[in-house]
Amino acid sequence: MIAQVWRWLVDGAHWQGGTGIAQRLLEHLEYSGMSVLIAAIIALPIGAFIGHAGRAKWIIAVANAFRAIPSLGLLFVVAMWFVSRLQGDAAYLVPTIIVLVILAMPPLLAGAYSGVSEVDPAARDAAYGMGMTHRQVLTRVELPCALPLIFSGLRSAALQVIATATIAASISVGGLGRYLIDGLANSDYTEMAGGAVLVAALALVVDGVLAALQRLVVPGGLRTARSARRRRRASAVTQASPTG
Partner 1 sequence: MIRFEQVVKIYAGGQTAVDDLTFEAPTGQITVLVGPSGCGKTTSLRMINRMIEPTSGHISIDDEDVQSVNAARLRRGIGYVIQNAGLFPNKRVVDNVATVPILLGAPRSQARTRAREVLELVGLPGDFADRWPSQLSGGQQQRVGVARALAADPPVMLMDEPFSAVDPVVREQLQDEFLRLQRELGKTIVFVTHDIDEALKLGDQIAVMRVGGKLAQLADPAYLLAHPIDDFVAGFVGRDRGYRALTFAQTPALPLAAEPTVPLGTTPQEARAATRDGWLLVADHGRPVGWVEPEHITAAIEPAMLHRGGTVARATGPLRAALDAALSSPSRRGVITDDDGILLGTVRAHQVLEAIEATDRPEVDEADIAPAGPTSRADR
Q: How far apart are CA 142 and CA 130, in angstroms?
A: 15
- 122 part of the interface to partner 1, by CB under 8 A: yes
- 144 part of the interface to partner 1, by CB under 8 A: yes
Contact 176, 25 (CB under 8 A): yes
User: Rounded to the nearest whole angstrom, what is the least distance from the CB of residue 102 to partner 1 in the complex?
Assistant: 32
- 133 part of the interface to partner 1, by CB under 8 A: yes
User: Rounded to the nearest whole angstrom, what is the least distance from the CB of residue 228 to partner 1 in the complex?
Assistant: 6
**66, 81, 128, 189: residue in contact with partner 1 (rule CB under 8 A):** 128
Closer of 83 and 234 to partner 1 (Cβ): 234
Contact 129, 175 (CB under 8 A): no
- 118 part of the interface to partner 1, by CB under 8 A: no
Window 224 to 243, contacts with partner 1 (CB under 8 A):
224-225, 228
Other CB atoms within 10 A of residue 134 CB: 12
φ/ψ of 15, rounded to 5, equals: -90, -15
Q: Which stretch binds partner 1 (CB under 8 A): 5-13, 49-57, 83-91, 218-226?
A: 218-226
Closer of 147 and 181 to partner 1 (Cβ): 147
Which residue type occupies 55? R
3-class secondary structure, 11: coil
3-class secondary structure, 61: helix
3-class secondary structure, 56: coil
Tell me how many residues contact partner 1 (CB under 8 A). 26
User: Rounded to the nearest whole angstrom, what is the least distance from the CB of residue 213 to partner 1 in the complex?
Assistant: 17
Contact 36, 157 (CB under 8 A): yes
Q: Which residues contact 192 (CB under 8 A, 6 or more apart)?
A: 179, 180, 183, 184
**12, 54, 220, 242: residue in contact with partner 1 (rule CB under 8 A):** 220
- 125 part of the interface to partner 1, by CB under 8 A: yes
- 149 part of the interface to partner 1, by CB under 8 A: no
- 54 part of the interface to partner 1, by CB under 8 A: no
Triad 230, 233, 236: Cα angle to 5°: 150
Q: Which residues contact 110 (CB under 8 A, 6 or more apart)?
A: 47, 60, 63, 64, 153
- 221 part of the interface to partner 1, by CB under 8 A: yes
**39, 48, 108, 127: residue in contact with partner 1 (rule CB under 8 A):** 127
- 126 part of the interface to partner 1, by CB under 8 A: yes
Residues at the contact surface with partner 1, assessed by CB under 8 A? 120, 122-133, 136, 140-141, 144-145, 147, 219-222, 224-225, 228
